[in-house]
Amino acid sequence: MKKTIRGEYVIKRSDLLFLTHLRQDSRQTLTKISRKTKIPISTLYDKLRQHEQNLILKHTTLIDFNKLGYNSRAKIMLSTAKEDRDKLKSYLKEHQSINSLFKINNGYDFLAEGVFENVKELEDFLEMLEDKFKLKDKKVFYVIEDIKRENFLARPEVMPQVVG
């Protein structure tokens, strides 16, 4: 039985194949995935329950924010004084306009993805951050267009090679 090792998690090729189908479309039925993969439905069900406890962080939906009236998105890199780092992190984690937040390196503390109705709302948010926290540096990259999103391990035909 071939296995691939990624970090400390050992996974079978059939599990990886199943996960690629879930990444491609998590709303497809286990019956449909079973037909494509030739893995029995009962086995897929067991794999799903197992991976929901260990590997799958959450099931989610990707939304076209523009269609909801949120026309400004930006990736924001922030560097702050050490004494403000935890406060800034907590603030960003709870802020309704922050979609994703990452701890990063190379002179910056955080990378945040913000979603706003318009550029003025985004600029007001950035100004408020500067007033509220001791920012050492900030870089803002406006997202013009999504070209590729959430696509890693989403194509069964280009699954990573199995080692073992």
Asked whether residue 45 falls in the same domain as residue 84, the answer is no
CB atoms within 10 A of CB 44: 21
Q: Is 152 exposed, middle or buried (0-12, 13-18, 19+ CB in 10 A)?
A: exposed
Instruction: Give the Cα separation of 6 and 9 in Å (integer).
Output: 6
- The whole-model pTM stands at 0.83
Asked whether residue 75 falls in the same domain as residue 98, the answer is yes
Asked whether residue 91 falls in the same domain as residue 35, the answer is no
Provide the residue range defining the domain that includes 54: 3-60
Residues 6+ apart with CB under 8 A from 128: none
Query: Residue 140 pairs with which residues in a beta bridge?
Result: 76
Asked whether residue 38 falls in the same domain as residue 11, the answer is yes
Residue pLDDT, tens place only, 20-79: 999 999 999 999 999 999 999 999 999 999 999 989 999 988 999 999 999 999 999 999
Residue pLDDT, tens place only, 62-71: 999 999 999 9
Q: For residue 62, how far is the Cα from the chain centroid?
A: 10
User: Cβ(65)–Cβ(111) under 8 Å?
Assistant: no
What pLDDT, on a 0 to 100 scale, did the predictor assign at position 158? 82
